[in-house]
Amino acid sequence: MEARIAAGVLLNAALEKRGGLDEALKIREVAVLSPADGAFARALAMVALRRLGELDQVLERRLKTAPPLAVRTLLRIGLAQMLYLDTPDFAAVSTAVKLAERDAKTRPYKALVNAVLRGIGRDGPGQTSPERNLPDWIAARWKAAYGEPALASLAEATRIEPATDLSARPGVDLAALAAEMEGMVLPGGTVRVGRKGDVVGWPGFAAGDWWVQDAAAAIPARALAPQPGETALDLCAAPGGKTLQLAASGATVTALDRSAPRLKRLSENLARTGLAAEVIVVPAEDWDDARTFDAVLLDAPCTATGTYRRNPEVLRATRPADVAKLADVQHRLLDAAAARVKPGGRLVYCVCSLEREEGETQAIAFLRRTPGVRTAPIDPAAVGAPAEALTTEGWLRVLPSMWPDHGGLDGFFVAAFAREE
């Protein structure tokens, strides 16, 4: 019962604002749960977020008028258990009704909760469309940017719970690691794991053999390809997966970020893996240092709409105004990053966003306003990216619907540039 209340708290927090789900983990109803109940509450909230549009599509057929949010939350949580978590219908219905009885705001609706959920259990949910899991404004944008067939595939990807991906320290046997983790080695060397649960207890974690990093997130550092003896700068470095990749290359690495708490996690992972990097807490634009570098990586702040498989809340909490606001930040950071590139050096710009204003449009505008810089075309095979991600300009536009046989990957835009000697 308490875990289901907590799931509702997490669901609504995720719908209210960006980062709401993580913040809600500290709320009393969630924080007091046992580890097992807390994991169940999060799993239930996540499946409800992933399939929110479909859940509402089913409920709308049974509701003549929209109920209060607290009642809708009970219905969503109960229905998610019935349809997607293999909870017996009678148990999900009984729990939802008991929860309705516990609160004065929902008590008058307990008969409605009972009738709606029992009716769906008896008659079935009917057909649902994965496109309902996308907010209308995002669906319209993606249809315009990528076309109707791609939109259908992107919508289908909302239903998928992604596997955990690992990047390994140099010298680790990838095939052996994959076998031990019940997984597979993906193109580029990422290990996709078949396990679930807390990674701290997995083989090789304490020894620092690997770190968690989505397969798509590993592509930008491979595209930058720093060499031993070179200097590399990671701007906006936290939480640090790309910094670890740069450090593993043998380059001398400097990592910047404005967030001290997030950089603490990077420092802990550097210590755990035995890798080295200079870590500095400072906004990239404010860094008062005259150094320039052979290789510069800018993973810019963005709407993160490409991560919706792992973070379904981004689709609900992101607003249209966020795209333009963040595009302005990216413009400034790109200029700051370019100023750090040595003559003959390289710059990689990336965002985990599917919005063209944050990707292709940024790259085009950057080239136009930055003399002495040109695109350095990326070879998808060399960086472990889907072949179909290559654009005519030589950039990469990775969509979550790519690699369907492997289970997909996060959405990213990646562009590499070279400065003239």
Q: What is the pLDDT of residues 160-190, one digit of tens each?
A: 989 999 999 999 999 999 999 999 999 999 9
- Beta-carbon count within 10 A of 130 CB: 19
pLDDT of residue 260: 92
* Contact by Cβ (8 Å): 231, 294: yes
Measure the CA–CA gap between 326 and 357, rounded to whole angstroms: 9
**Strand duo 252-257 + 231-235: pairing:** parallel
pLDDT value of position 19: 63
pLDDT at 86: 87
Q: Cβ–Cβ contacts within 10 Å for residue 84, how many?
A: 18
Residues labelled catalytic: 352
Low-confidence stretches of the chain (pLDDT < 50) are none
Question: What is this structure's pTM?
Answer: 0.93
Question: What is the per-residue pLDDT for 33?
Answer: 80
Cα angle, residue 195 at apex, residues 203 and 413 outer, rounded to 5°: 100
For tokens 């907590």, the residue is: 6
What kind and span of H or E run contains 347?
A: strand 341-351
Q: What's the one-letter identity of residue 230?
A: E
Tokens of residue 14, six digits? 């995720």
